[in-house]
Structure 1
Amino acid sequence: MSSPAPRDALSRADNTDRIQVAQLLTDAAAQGRLDLNEYESRLARAYSAKTYHELDRLASDLPGIATTPRGACRALPKSLVLGILSSFERRGRWNVPRKLTLIALWGNGVVDLRYADFTSSEVEIKAYSIMGIQSILAPPEINVVVEGTKLMGNIEDAASGSGASGAPVVTVRCFALWGGIHIKRKKRRPLAIPAD
């Protein structure tokens, strides 16, 4: 998946290969080729796949998807998102960097990871809410670790725990001062199919 060169189907796949197949499956779901249940089932199997053979089988019945070369999947290094006296949103299909810093200062924000493409198997999110509120929504299959400090604020952790074996691990480090940070798991809704 990470290289168009021939390979042994029984060779061990790596995290980059699993992430790339997850992105291909998301493409197929967005095009209406997979319904929500099939998409989530294949996504969990992609993250836990050990060999190229297992990964290839997940997309073999998706013509045009499995054969589209995407090149190597490179992790985005880091990103900063600010909501100062304003708000921010990251929803829909977007690339999650390896490190993401969220700052809500007298503002609010929403980061929705349910339809996002992960570019790394380990993601660190630093969330700071100072008199602001943030929500981080995680899909069922990812692994979530929440750590935090609050001073007259609130950190609501309804997401910590294991997801699918081999799925990305998202560590959320929180700081809330007179503000709130809410991390929760939320199921996906069926993707809207674009009209022609």
Structure 2
Amino acid sequence: MTSRPPNPSPRPAPSGELRASHDDRETVVEQLRDAAAEGRIDLDELDSRLEQALKSKTHAELAVLTADLPRPDSFASQPPLVLEGGLYGASRGPGRWEVPGRVIAHAGVGGVKVDFTRVECRLTEVAVEAYGETSGVTIVVPDGWAADTSGMDPGIGGLTDKTTPDRLPGTPLLRLTGAGGVGGVTIRHPNRWERRKLHSNPTQD
């Protein structure tokens, strides 16, 4: 009795021809919605691309729909921004600055303030590590941004969260971790004085 030769192993499909999953399609849908919220594509084009995304069966078909849009992970891969309060304090903002995927703030004796009110952030999430230490950390976010503070240790100084849960489309979620220390950590939207300054000079760099 002669044995049959083994069946040849199937060749792996090129990455673009791999079948797309529900999660793959949903990721592209979210990216398209964010692009529309940022004004990169208009509503008619959004509807057209969303329809194609939901019908796409391969990674290649999905890739065509976002080929002319910034990659969400291009900013997430940047080195973290580290702010050290030291003796005299440190701050970032309120001018325009490029937001990486991770921000680390050590208050030290002088304290730290991180102001996101004038930034243009293309990330869906930003990780912020805040350590209140002696003088505290203050984080200011625009209206429409939301924060998840469940991973924060309030410490002696405590955590003060004055943000609203109403997150607008196309805005990032701040995931706040760290420890309040003695000085505490505060995350909030702009106060009255900061709003007045924003309205009087909306294009400040």
TM range (shorter): 0.5 to 0.7
Q: Distance in 2 between matches of 1:140 and 1:114?
A: 8
Gaps of 5+ in 1: 1-11, 26-45, 55-68
The answer on 1:110 being equivalent to 2:113 is yes
Question: Could you tell me how far 1:89 is from its partner in structure 2?
Answer: 1.1
Q: Offset at 1:113?
A: 1.0
The offset of 1:184, in angstroms, is 0.7
Paired residues of 1:156 and 1:183 also in contact (CA < 8 A): yes
Number of aligned residues = 151
Structure 1 length-normalised TM? 0.61
What is the deviation of 1:82?
1.2
> 1:186 pairs with 183, 190, 201, which one?
190
Structure 2 counterpart of 1:93, from 91, 96, 113? 96
Contact 1:150/1:176, CA 8 A, preserved across alignment = yes
Q: What is the SS of the residue equivalent to 1:93?
A: coil
Partners of 1:145 and 1:160 within 8 A in 2:
no
Aligned to 1:174: 178
Aligned-pair Cα RMSD in Å:
3.7
Q: Which has the larger radius of gyration?
A: 2
Q: Choose from 145, 148, 163 the match for 2:148.
A: 145
Of Structure 1 and Structure 2, which has the larger fraction of its residues in helix? 2
Partner Cα separation in structure 2 for residue 97 and residue 139 of structure 1: 17
Q: Identity over aligned residues, as a percent?
A: 19
Structure (1/2) with the larger strand percentage: 1
Residue 23 of structure 1, CA deviation: 6.8
Q: In structure 1, what is the equivalent of residue 166 of structure 2?
A: 162
Displacement of 1:165: 3.3
For 1:114 and 1:154, how far apart are their aligned partners in 2? Answer: 23
